[in-house]
A = this chain, B = another copy of it.
Amino acid sequence: MLTTRPATLDDAALITTHRRAMFAEIGKSKPEALDTMSLHFRPWVERMIVAGKYVGWIVEDGGKPVASAGFFELEWPPHPLDPAGEARGYLLNFWVEPSHRRRGLARELVKMAIAESRRRGFRVSTLHASDAGRPVYESVGFRGSGEMFFAEKDSSS
């Protein structure tokens, strides 16, 4: 039976494993970069859970984790879409084990994360979609933002 529970500090390693698996599947990062990221992400997420800025959800099938997702409170300047707000929700670390895909788990996790954003009074939520994830996010009402990024070239990533 599938159950969903909030993540605790004890889940920091699992969340890190899922984050790494997500980026590995996207296929743009070198293993060394993913190793370094994992090393630094675990204590980061522990600190953010303690600070109340990261909220996670773990989906289990018969007690075994099969999916998870996270919400992060992102500091943001007052913006026309939330003109009195100073933060937005950032959705991250969406991962569903291959054995449990195409059952709507990601969609349910997105809805829980949007609900968390609302609970905190934020009017905007953002995320970075992989090509595979985009249709799920679109179905819930997400659309492209026009964000651009610049990354230094001589990284190990």
Binding site for B on A (CB under 8 A): 23, 28-29, 33-37, 39-41, 44-45, 48, 72, 74-75, 77-86, 92, 114, 118, 123-130, 134, 137-138, 140-152, 155-157
Expressed in whole angstroms, the minimum distance between the Cβ of A117 and any Cβ of chain B is: 8
- Which B-chain residue is minimally distant from A122 (CB atoms)? B152
Q: Contacts of A40 on B, CB cut-off 8 Å?
A: 78, 83-86
- A142 in complex: contacting residue of B77, B86, B144, B148, CB < 8 Å: B148
Q: Contacts of A80 on B, CB cut-off 8 Å?
A: 23, 28-29, 33-34, 37, 157
Q: When chains A and B are docked, how far (Å) is the Cα of A150 from the Cα of B56?
A: 19
- A44 in complex: contacting residue of B77, B141, B145, CB < 8 Å: B77
- Which B-chain residue is minimally distant from A137 (CB atoms)? B148
Asked if A33 contacts B75 (CB within 8 A), the reply is no
Expressed in whole angstroms, the minimum distance between the Cβ of A48 and any Cβ of chain B is: 8
Asked if A123 contacts B147 (CB within 8 A), the reply is no
Q: Contacts of A124 on B, CB cut-off 8 Å?
A: 149-152
Asked if A145 contacts B142 (CB within 8 A), the reply is no
- Which B-chain residue is minimally distant from A24 (CB atoms)? B80
Asked if B150 contacts A147 (CB within 8 A), the reply is no
Q: When chains A and B are docked, how far (Å) is the Cα of A146 from the Cα of B92?
A: 13
Q: Contacts of A127 on B, CB cut-off 8 Å?
A: 147-148
Could you jot down 23 A-B contacts, CB within 8 Å?
Answer: A23-B80, A33-B81, A37-B79, A37-B80, A37-B83, A40-B78, A77-B92, A82-B155, A114-B150, A118-B152, A124-B149, A125-B149, A125-B150, A126-B148, A126-B149, A130-B146, A134-B146, A137-B148, A142-B148, A145-B147, A145-B148, A146-B147, A147-B147
